[in-house]
Amino acid sequence: MTIKDLKPARVWNVFDQITQVPRPSKKEGKIREWLINFAKENKLEYKVDEIGNVAMFRPAAPGFENAKGIILQAHMDMVCEKNKDSKHNFDTDPIETIIDGEWVRANGTTLGADDGMGVAIALAVLTDPAIIAGPLEGFFTVDEETGLTGASNVGEGMLKGDYLLNLDSEDDGIITMSCAGGMDTLATFEYKPLDAPKDLIYFNLKLTGMNGGHSGTDINTERACATRQVARMLYDLRVIDYELATIDAGNLRNAIAREGEATIGIKPCDKENLSAAFNEFAAMVKEEYKISEPNFKAIITSVDAPAKIINKADAERIVNTLYVAPHGVQSISLEVEGLVETSTNLSSIKMHEEGIIEIVTSQRSAVGSRKMDTAHRVETIFKMGGGKVRHTDGYQGWAPNKNSKILKTAIRIWKGLYGVEPKVEAIHAGLECGLFLKVNPNLDMISYGPTLRNVHSPSECCHIPAVQKAWDFTLGIIEDVKNEK
């Protein structure tokens, strides 16, 4: 038995073909060519825009020319992760799929059901002769995973419909109706490097074992954030006369920092005091975060003298600025229960070149003005501390629309099919949907998809029964919309 034998056969057949085509993010040439051939073979009108997105159009069936147009949207790229022992070459090799009980996974690599399954459902709809409907469009974006560049640069003549079904969500029974917009705020602080005094003794202070997590969806979990704790540690240690030599924390802009460290020099007579102050700090953090960070560790190690230290006044200025910089949830939604509306993440502190400390932060909000407000506050604090600041362009959010017609239809269809209310969610993370509003501010959208687990990792798997449910749900929506008055 192969995945081609699974049901619905039309969807799994297309998915099987997609797994044969390499499609790493930013290298979508082969999958785009495959999509174009698919459109030609199935006599679908198609369009490719400058960035490389592909749209396919299926005209309305006779009698349904005036029905609302539906766009089935998915991204054509995939995250390429494999196990250490896998010889897989993502640029050339097909994904090897394995049926494992109720799940399909790959052999030591990501499966690419994120979002190949979305592409497969859309293409299966476009080519199913049993579907009699109004105008349908398949819209397939490039590079969702590493920059949303396809969705940010939608060309003319794409996205013609009134409703958009984004097929990039991962939980059966959940319909997403809102996502956050985001932007980054980056600062550089100059300092004067000085030769490290030889009469001091030096210590590395390391904070580690924290959970980290996604800077959007995990921001309300009270995790410790290593960048923030390193700044706080250096602030608290001001009771001791120390020289700061190095500071380093965090890594990815979209992750909560898991570890961080600093190197400081002290007079030999202060050794006991440092050890007491450091242990006191560590015990305090451990107690405060005993529930969210049970594995938090603080380690102090004696190290050789570094070549340089940071001039004291500069070090104090930078530490104080980091200490007061905002981090975490800034506002919660009163429209959608439990939704973080606005947040900021103190992502990383790095010393890539001598004389400069780089800080990366990242802001998110479902409300554009609040995202800007938070970014401006971060900017102002960094400027007050003498930093030079710039923002990235960022991407737009998708605010909740409780009057959405397609959402109401979707809820009714789901209930009719499965006898239960679907969960309607807003997420504090980015989706391509927000960016489509730039092209058509009136686009009425929802996002859903069959259950996927462990996406972006070699354990990625797709729940087989959920594919049938997502398929029937999609057909139900299409059928309903064509008769909409």
- Contact positions vs Zn ion (CB under 5 A): 114-115, 168
DSSP reduced 3-state for 20:
coil
Residue 432 C-beta: closest distance to Zn ion, Å: 9
CB closer to Zn ion, 168 vs 379: 168
Q: Are 262 and 205 in contact (CB under 8 A)?
A: yes
Q: Which is nearer to Zn ion, 114 or 425 (CB)?
A: 114
Closest to Zn ion by CB, 144 vs 162, is: 144
State the DSSP H helix or E strand holding residue 304, giving kind and residue range, or none if neither.
none
Give buried/exposed letters for 310-346 (b at 16+ CB in 10 A, else e): beeebbebbbbbbbebbbbbbebbeebeebbbbbbbb
Please report, to the nearest 10 degrees, the dihedral formed by the alpha carbons of residues 103, 104, 107, 112 taken in order: -130
85 labelled catalytic? no
Residue of 28, 144, 162, 218 marked catalytic: 144
Which is nearer to Zn ion, 114 or 184 (by Cβ)? 114
Query: How many angstroms separate the CA atoms of 61 and 456, rounded?
Result: 39
How far is the C-alpha of 206 from the C-alpha of 213, rounded, in Å?
19
DSSP one-letter string for 149-162: HHHHTPPTT---SS
In whole angstroms, the minimum distance from the beta carbon of 450 to Zn ion comes to 12
Identify which of residues 115 and 243 has a Cβ nearer to Zn ion in the complex. Answer: 115
Q: Which residues of 4-30 are buried (b: 16+ CB within 10 A; e: fewer)?
A: eebebebbbbbbbbbbebbbbbeebeb
Distance CA 279, CA 298 (A): 8
CA distance 387 to 378: 11
> Token pair of 273, please?
């005091």
CB of 153 to Zn ion, least distance (A): 18
Smaller CB separation from Zn ion, 168 or 425: 168
Helix, strand, coil % over all residues of the chain, rounded to 5: 30, 30, 40
User: Taking the complex as a whole, how short is the minimal distance between the CB of residue 144 and Zn ion, in angstroms?
Assistant: 6
Considering 28, 77, 184, 379, which one is annotated as catalytic? Answer: 77
Dihedral sign, CA of 116, 119, 125, 127? negative
Beta carbon nearer to Zn ion, 114 or 171: 114
**Cβ burial, residue 113 (10 Å; 0-12/13-18/19+):** buried
> Catalytic residue at 373?
no
Question: Considering the complex, what minimum distance in angstroms separates the CB of residue 205 from Zn ion?
Answer: 39
The rounded distance, in Å, linking the Cα atoms of 27 and 463 is 27
Q: What is the largest CA-CA distance in the chain?
A: 90
Strands (E), 13-107: 45-48, 54-58, 70-75, 97-100, 103-106
Q: How far is the CB of 4 from Zn ion (least distance, A)?
A: 23
Q: Compute how many other C-beta atoms are within 10 angstroms of the C-beta atom of residue 239.
A: 12
Distance in Å, CB of 210 to Zn ion, minimum: 27
Nearer to Zn ion, 136 or 455 (CB): 455
Q: Closest separation between CB of residue 76 and Zn ion, Å?
A: 10
Catalytic residues: 77, 144
